[in-house]
Amino acid sequence: MNVERLQEQLREFAEERDWVQFHTPKNLVMALSVEASELLEIFQWLTPEESAQVMSERAEDVKDEIADVMIYLLRLVDLLDVDLQGAIEGKIARNRERFSPGSDAS
């Protein structure tokens, strides 16, 4: 995934619409959380089995909400100058130390 290219597109998109003024880290994190809940809403009344079949019924909605979560995350990461891949790799490394294989938390 070309994170930098996507961030650039999203930055231009916000600038062209004069939305940068709204994009404080606090507001972007709120928007990210709201989009995560819109994704959650799709699943709220489903059984675990129905949730595993979600793509046969609501694939477009699911992809749309996943994209919205990522869009606000990419805006946030751009604004805060976070190395996204580095942050994920660092966290996986810490999780490897924290949870040995066979541990029962998830």
We find the least distance from the C-beta atom of residue 24 to its own copies, in angstroms, to be 5
We find the least distance from the C-beta atom of residue 12 to its own copies, in angstroms, to be 10
We find the least distance from the C-beta atom of residue 61 to its own copies, in angstroms, to be 11
Question: What residue spans of 17-53 are helical by DSSP H?
Answer: 25-43, 48-52
Contacts of 62 (CB under 8 A, 6+ apart): 39, 42, 54, 55
